[in-house]
A and B are shown apart, each in its own frame.
Chain A
Amino acid sequence: MTEHDFCTNCGAEVGIYKKIMSSANLFYNEGLDRAGVRDLTGAVASLRQCLKMNKNHVDARNLLGLVYFEMGEYVAALSEWVISKNLRPNKNIADDYLNMMQSNPSRLDTISQTIKKYNQALSYCYQGSYDLAIIQLKKVVSLNPKHVQGRQLLALLYLNNEQWEDARKELERCRKIDVNNTTTLRYLKEADAVLDIEEDFNAPVKKKSIADTITYHRGNETIIQPLNGKETKLSSTIVNMIVGIAIGIAVACLLILPARISAASEASDIRIKEIGEQLDEKNSTINSLEQEKNSLTARVEKLDNELATYTGEGGTISSMDNLLNAAMAYLSNPEDTATVAGYLDLIDEGFVDTSTETFREVYNMLRSKIGATVGSTYYDEGMHAYQNEQYDEAVENLSKAYAYDNTNVDALYNLANAYRKAGDNVNAIANYQTLVDNFPDTELATRSQSFLNELVVE
């Protein structure tokens, strides 16, 4: 084409065509300028306009592919480069771009993964699983930090969760990639509006007083110096140190001391438990020893009693000794009945009843041998005491006289009389009754019965 509005070869009218081509170039230049200042959205719009004017504008197509690639829209970028390559197979920079993509399988795989994760995140959003979507989108932006749409969607989810600060961070990153993206700017405005309100609400009013400064001129310079700057700094340092120490102590009290106290308490609890267990064990030992002691004491008492029955007065040994002495005395001199009787009287009659058969036989034999003689002697002594009104002595001797000779009815009768006269009616009645029973049909029995009748009536 020339400067004329017609074809110099065929004469066809090309004015409009030239204007279209000129407009395409205009849009291309605009897109190039916008891409230069990272207004990628604007660049895309201009370059697409250019390509609507002239689809064969290879540079515009290559640049559009590059802008798409920068925005993370890889398939769109590849499409543009492939078409560009077809339009101009040789000396086309798109060839380099495509080679760059195809020569690195891991990069291609990463791109594919990024797209899949982004689509998955979008699917989660449609399903209402916003938390899962956020997780997926974080992976997307970590795989491709320039994925604008991914960051925008993440920011939108943060805005929905009222995570204003996180949303703003994402949107700021979007703005660094694409400075004039209207979606980014709109979301950012929303986040900023909320955050500014919060900051205004929370921020303390801090105005530096003019009185805190001193202003003076030195030559052409105006010097503003804070008053008491050093003193304030020193005092504030000391105050900060004191506050720091106080905070340290407070933290120690709050965090370390409870742990120490808890540990000490646990240790003491364990110790107390151990001591308690030992105490229980010792108490149990003491109880068992006490029981053993009591049983041993009872056993000792029992043995003492048993021993006393053997060794004590009237005991087995003593009784045996007396019986042996009585036998010895009888064998030495059978006529010395008093000595024999003296030994036999020392033997308790109760012991005789519980002693062995041999002991009883010897005892009874000796008593029978000396019984008549000794009984007579005791009877005489008893009657003598009776006549002298010595009734206690009479009772003692007459009871022995009847014991040695149980056929002596006079001894029994006078024994009963002695009891009666001594005022012991109970024994008197018992002896009268014995007489009545053992010697019936005798005169003494008749007398005894009459006494019995009198005593019973009394």
Chain B
Amino acid sequence: MINFEEELKKFHPSLEIEEATDAIYNQDMTDMADLLVSLIKEERAAGQSQE
């Protein structure tokens, strides 16, 4: 049985056209490649510090 109140909570207001710019700027653009690069950088930094 559907709980109306709970289902209603799943609906959220749509972004309006005027808010599109903010939505674009605030979008998380990090991808797996970025994570990989950051991991490699951290690993290298850790290796250099040990040396």
Contact = CB atoms under 8 A, between A and B. Distances in A.
Interface of A: 16-17, 20-21, 23-24, 51-56, 73-76, 78-79, 82-83, 108, 111-112, 115-116, 118-119, 122-123, 125-126, 149, 152-153, 156, 159-160, 183, 186-187, 190
Contacts of B46: none
B13 A122 contact: yes
A112 B17 contact: yes
Contact of B20 (A78, A152, A190): A78
A6 to B, nearest CB: 14
Contacts of B14: 73-75, 115, 118-119, 149
A186 B7 CA distance: 11
Contact of B2 (A17, A73, A190): A190
Contacts, number: 85
A149 B16 contact: no
A20 B16 CA distance: 34
A54 B23 contact: no
A160 B16 contact: no
A302 B24 CA distance: 122
16 contacts: A52-B31, A54-B33, A55-B34, A56-B31, A74-B14, A75-B14, A75-B16, A75-B23, A76-B15, A83-B29, A122-B13, A125-B11, A149-B14, A152-B11, A156-B8, A187-B2
B30 interface: yes
A20 B30 CA distance: 13
B23 A20 contact: no
Contacts of A76: 15, 23
Contacts of B16: 75, 112, 115-116, 119
A53 B32 contact: yes
Most chain B CB within a 10 A radius of its CB, from A53, A75, A115, A187: A75
Contact of B36 (A20, A83, A149, A183): A20
A166 to B, nearest CB: 15
A82 B17 CA distance: 13
A157 to B, nearest CB: 9
A312 B34 CA distance: 153
B10 A183 contact: yes
Contacts of B36: 16-17, 20
Interface string B10-47: 11111111011001100101111110100000000000
Given A16-B36, A53-B31, A55-B31, A83 B4 contact: no
Contact of A75 (B7, B8, B12, B17): B17
Contacts of A108: 17
A118 B13 CA distance: 7
Nearest to B4: A160
B33 A186 contact: no
Contact of A149 (B4, B11, B31, B34): B11
A122 B11 contact: yes
B2 A125 contact: no
A83 B32 contact: no
A17 B33 contact: yes
A159 B5 CA distance: 12
Nearest to B19: A75
Contacts of B1: 190
Contacts of B15: 75-76, 115
B39 to A, nearest CB: 9
Contacts of A79: 20, 23-24, 27
Given A75-B14, A75-B20, A112-B17, A55 B2 contact: no
